[in-house]
Amino acid sequence: MQSLTIGFIGLGNMGAPMAANLAKAGHKVRGFDVAGTTAAGVEVAPDIAGAAKGADVVITMLPNGSILRQVAAQAIEHMAKGSLFIDCSTVDVESARNTSEAAEKAGVLAVDAPVSGGIGGASAGTLTFMAGGSEAAFAKAAPLFDIMGQKAVHCGDAGAGQAAKICNNMILGVTMIATCEAFALADKLGLDRQKMFDVVSTSSGYSWSMNAYCPAPGVGPNAPSDNDYKPGFAAELMLKDLGLSQQAAEMADADTPMGELARALYAQFVENEDGKGMDFSAMLPRFEKRGREG
Ligand code: NAD
């Protein structure tokens, strides 16, 4: 593929390794982060305009939707017609659609492309991208997704990538809680954890939370539970995504009682208990300590 000039804005835990992988693949990457962070092989731009001007593609990897809206407005102002804006952050569906509209008005193609795979996937170039936008925009972004990831699914129009991400993570949050509370119940019933895993992982209660990311230490494949619940995927990031799914459910008038309960439990865990900085599977030791009255 021809070498592109890429502006990369937001060089945090995820953005820095993603930008480094693009540079390693031979693209000219100009990065900018308000915190002054950099990435291997990436030239530092003085500001957003410096990263965006003359870029074939601008990629953002930012904390939330309101920051995305501000950054996108500034970047798009400096982007040429026909260039491409890709947002890889996890944000609310409204902000994704708003950003896409702003880009379209300026003749810039846009894709919302949140990821799954975490920091490990970002470093290894094995992320999964869930993309929303036009066919033309997705086709132009696809070779870059191939560098930063192992799979990209075109989910539909603007916002569809974010919709897929928050629906997936709502299922993940709910099934992780269900798996953890079932382990805590099994403990109290005197059932051996390994036997519980052997049965459930091959029965109708199986899920990614049980089979691939078992919250019980020493049981199933290696997971954050085997490393003192160091993330992994931090409980506060799960809380963020569950908040976004409830925000979307309100906007779309969807009834999501399990998603709301999962959000409330992660909020309690992160804000009032010792969940902050722990992996999201640390719900198991939380349940372990409790009885029916808390
Ligand atoms: P992070 O906080 O490490 O990185 C965000 C970066 O954006 C920071 O370095 C910050 O300084 C920078 N930033 C903030 N405002 C800016 C501005 N106005 N201009 C330029 N830079 C600015 O977060 P992260 O873990 O890299 O996550 C980034 C996004 O990816 C989030 O939306 C998160 O939900 C999503 N995500 C994270 C993971 C994960 O495991 N960390 C997994 C999937 C998705």
Rounded Cα–Cα distance for residues 43 and 41 (Å): 7
**13 pocket-lining for ligand 1 (C-beta < 6 Å):** yes
240 part of the active site = no
Q: How far is the CA of 41 from the centre of ligand 1 (A)?
A: 19
Radius of gyration for the chain, computed over Cα atoms and rounded to the nearest angstrom: 20
Give the pLDDT confidence score for residue 276 in this predicted structure.
97
What is the chain's percent helix, strand, coil content, to nearest 5?
Answer: 50, 15, 35
Q: How far from each other are the two terminal CA atoms of the chain, in whole angstroms?
A: 58
DSSP 8-state symbol, 279:
B
Residue pLDDT, tens place only, 8-59: 999 999 999 999 999 999 999 999 999 999 999 999 999 999 999 999 999 9
Mean pLDDT along residues 176-184:
98
Give the active site residue among 28, 53, 151, 165: 165
- Rounded-to-10 torsion of CA 95, 100, 104, 107: 110
Residue 240: pLDDT above 90?
yes
Q: Report yes or no: 22 and 7 within 8 Å, Cβ to Cβ.
A: no
Mean pLDDT along residues 89-100:
97
Pairing of strands 84-87, 149-156: unpaired
Confidence of residue 60 (pLDDT cuts 50, 70, 90): very high
**63 pocket-lining for ligand 1 (C-beta < 6 Å):** yes
Give the pLDDT confidence score for residue 167 in this predicted structure.
97
Q: How far is the CA of 142 from the centre of ligand 1 (A)?
A: 22
Residue pLDDT, tens place only, 100-125: 999 999 999 999 999 999 898 999 99
Rounded Cα–Cα distance for residues 235 and 155 (Å): 26
Rounded Cα–Cα distance for residues 219 and 263 (Å): 26
Rounded Cα–Cα distance for residues 19 and 79 (Å): 19
Nearest atom of ligand 1 to the alpha carbon of 241: 34
Beta bridge partners of 115: 129
